[in-house]
Amino acid sequence: MSLSRERVKEAVKKNLFSRGFGTETKATPELADLIGDLLRKLALSYFSLAKKAGLAVSGNSKVEDMVSKNKAQVILHAVEAAPDGRRKIDGLAGPDVTMINIFTVDELDLAFGRSNVIHAAVGRGKLAEKLILAVRRIERYDAQASVSCN
């Protein structure tokens, strides 16, 4: 069994935490959303760390450059990104590049420390791998997340 939004909602609704802990416990009805928000913040923290380490770029031309030189392991597109922009960048990517399309412009802006981050890329390495794993957790937790590996 794995953690999912629906299971957390069901556990809260059926008061299963009291049974599991063996004492009266009250979980807030917002627990499922809180967990989802924390999973997103964790993933975005890896993106932010990659930026601070000089391993991430944003902006169409910088992302295209990193991807075309086969230095990108992850491509992030804001949910609001135009399909044409996504296709152009994704078309430059090799088969081992992971595309992530679950974060909003506001989330990417905050993580990257600048405004209007529509496209971004993270270079190869441990931080990119941790970002991918964190996004996979979101994908499992939240069925509507959209992540694809080419």
Q: With CA atoms as reference, report the closest residue to 103 among 127, 119, 87.
A: 119
Q: Is residue 65 exposed (0-12), middle (13-18) or buried (19+ Cβ within 10 Å)?
A: middle
**E runs forming strands in 26-71:** 56-58
> What's the confidence (pLDDT) of residue 138?
96
Q: What is the per-residue pLDDT across 75-108, written as a single tens digit (0 to 9) for each?
A: 999 999 999 999 999 999 999 999 999 999 999 9
C-alpha 132: how far from its chain's center? 7
Q: What is the per-residue pLDDT across 52-81, written as a single tens digit (0 to 9) for each?
A: 999 999 999 999 999 999 999 999 999 999
Average pLDDT for 6-13: 92
Greater pLDDT, 3 or 63: 63
102 φ/ψ angles, rounded to the nearest 5 degrees: -115, -10
**E runs forming strands in 42-101:** 56-58, 72-77, 98-100
> What's the confidence (pLDDT) of residue 25?
85
